[in-house]
Amino acid sequence: MSVWSPIPNTPILLKLENATTGVNAERAATTTTTSAWETVSFDFSTEGALTFESVTVFMNFNVTDPATQVYYWDNLNQLNLNVGGTTCANALEVTPGVYNDVFIVSDSGGSANVTDALGLDALWYSYTPIESGTININSCISDPSPVDTRLFVYTDGCDILTLVDNDDDGCDTPNVFGSVIEEINVIGGQEYLIEWDDRWQDTTPFDWELIFTPLPACPEPLDVAIAPNAFDAVITWSAVVEATTGYIVNVFVAGDDPTIDTPVYTENVPTGTLTATATGLTPETSYQAYVIADCDTEGISLADPNFFTTLVACPAPSNFTVTTTVDTEATFTWDVVAEAVNGYTLSVFDAGADPTVDTAVYTETVAAGIVTATATGLAIDSGYDAYLVSDCDTNGFSQENLLSFTTPFPST
């Protein structure tokens, strides 16, 4: 049953009555949220096969309510938790919770067979979330743990059955043959069909659970785009108005678990900035990037992984040497880089200058195939830092080669 209460820990009593037989039964539940819809369950399985004529719901049972306190309830459903529908058309409606000792009816048919025809019978459930969020469906909790399940989730009704996700042996120890699908994005009001088929077994009872997590109040950044180079990647995204504290950018090696593993790059980006450059990456390596909005008191957003692979490294020129220095000039040479199809860039700075923020005293773009350049307009008897990079077009730029030198004092 769906309930809405203005305060948490509200006791609810549900009473089933039969005036003819005089047999009544009641069960209690307690709310956990404040001013939000949630689902509560009442387990009457120990009552056996009895018939009841009426249902009474007592909100805030046995407690004196303030005059202004209002409660709501909706979607009261009776469920047989041990057997779902044997076909998609008669799928059993479920709400988030744990379902113990369910089993697939042997020789009942009804499997969708979307990946193969090896599971003929199936157990079907239908879940329609009240609001948008994410769901987790799994049989990892099953006891006994050796249960072997296979799981599918669909949308678009039984006639179309668009596959959202599926899993076979995704659970960890001890139930390594159990199935789990995590963080399925669901839309409020849309039906999701859950199928457990008998690819491996049918009549053996197993346990499964459906977990719903509402969307956070902080929206997730959209339009995330990544332009990788060999050693870095430029990440951009669309603005989130609610991100008053800014954004968090995390980059992990592909396959890492962001909840426990350490990112190879992380950056806090201020509000108004919609780009970040992840540095220190390894060429030809797959990564997953997350852009998270930070909405201050509203918390942080969810973030989907964005996968990318760094490019082949653009080799830096080797044997970068200053061959001739006169009072105001310096001539450099280096070995050819075959991948430098766009040539090279030579930049000369005053000694100790920061090339990322300071202005070069000399810069020159050298065409591919040419391996020498002369910097002019230098000061006599002065120290300089020269930087040379290869330009490998779509494979980006190489790392910088640094060469320090000093112009001579004119001879007399």
What confidence tens digit (pLDDT) does each residue in 256-271 have?
Answer: 999 999 999 999 999 9
- Average pLDDT on 100-123 reads 85
User: Residue 205 is part of a domain; what is its CATH number?
Assistant: 2.60.120.380
Q: Indicate if 207 and 119 belong to the same structural domain.
A: yes
pLDDT at 67: 67
- Average pLDDT on 148-172 reads 94
Is position 384 within any domain? yes
- Between 33 and 374, the more confident residue is 374
pLDDT at 139: 94
- Average pLDDT on 10-31 reads 91
Question: At residue 224, does pLDDT exceed 90?
Answer: yes
Q: Which of 50, 74, 98 is the C-terminal boundary of a domain?
A: 74
Place 202 in a pLDDT band, splitting at 50, 70 and 90. Answer: low
Q: Indicate if 182 and 293 belong to the same structural domain.
A: no
Is 227 strand, coil or helix? strand
Q: Indicate if 39 and 105 belong to the same structural domain.
A: no
Q: Indicate if 299 and 386 belong to the same structural domain.
A: no
- Between 84 and 292, the more confident residue is 292
Q: Indicate if 346 and 368 belong to the same structural domain.
A: yes
Q: Indicate if 132 and 205 belong to the same structural domain.
A: yes
Question: At residue 205, does pLDDT exceed 90?
Answer: no
Q: Indicate if 38 and 113 belong to the same structural domain.
A: no
Amino acid at 326: V
Q: What φ, ψ does residue 148 adopt, rounded to 5°? A: -120, 110
Among 37-46, 291-300, 360-369, the range scoring the smallest mean pLDDT is: 37-46
- CA 205 to mean position of chain CA atoms: 32
- Average pLDDT on 70-77 reads 86
Q: Indicate if 196 and 105 belong to the same structural domain.
A: yes
Place 303 in a pLDDT band, splitting at 50, 70 and 90. Answer: very high
Is 297 strand, coil or helix? helix
Is position 52 within any domain? yes
Q: Which pair of tokens denotes residue 44?
A: 């009457």
Place 287 in a pLDDT band, splitting at 50, 70 and 90. Answer: very high
Q: Indicate if 245 and 327 belong to the same structural domain.
A: no
pLDDT in tens, 320-338: 999 988 889 999 999 999 9
Calpha distance 242→220 (Å, rounded) = 10
Question: At residue 83, does pLDDT exceed 70?
Answer: no
Question: At residue 317, does pLDDT exceed 70?
Answer: yes
Is position 82 within any domain? no
Q: Which of 253, 283, 309 is the C-terminal boundary of a domain?
A: 309
Among 53-67, 187-201, 259-273, 299-313, the range scoring the smallest mean pLDDT is: 53-67
Q: What is the three-state SS of 333-356?
A: ECCCCCCCCCCEEEEEEECCCCCC
Calpha distance 148→71 (Å, rounded) = 43
pLDDT at 41: 82
Place 233 in a pLDDT band, splitting at 50, 70 and 90. Answer: very high
Is position 115 within any domain? yes
Q: Which domain holds residue 352?
A: 321-406
User: Residue 382 is part of a domain; what is its CATH number?
Assistant: 2.60.40.10
Is position 6 within any domain? yes
pLDDT at 152: 96
| Distance separating the N- and C-terminal Cα atoms of the chain | 99
Q: Indicate if 348 and 401 belong to the same structural domain.
A: yes
Place 306 in a pLDDT band, splitting at 50, 70 and 90. Answer: very high
pLDDT at 185: 92
Question: At residue 36, does pLDDT exceed 60?
Answer: yes
Q: How many domains does the chain have?
A: 4
Mean pLDDT of the chain: 91
pLDDT at 229: 86
Q: Which of 28, 51, 74 is the C-terminal boundary of a domain?
A: 74
For 79, residues 6+ apart whose C-beta sits below 8 A from its C-beta are 92, 93, 94
Calpha distance 179→200 (Å, rounded) = 12
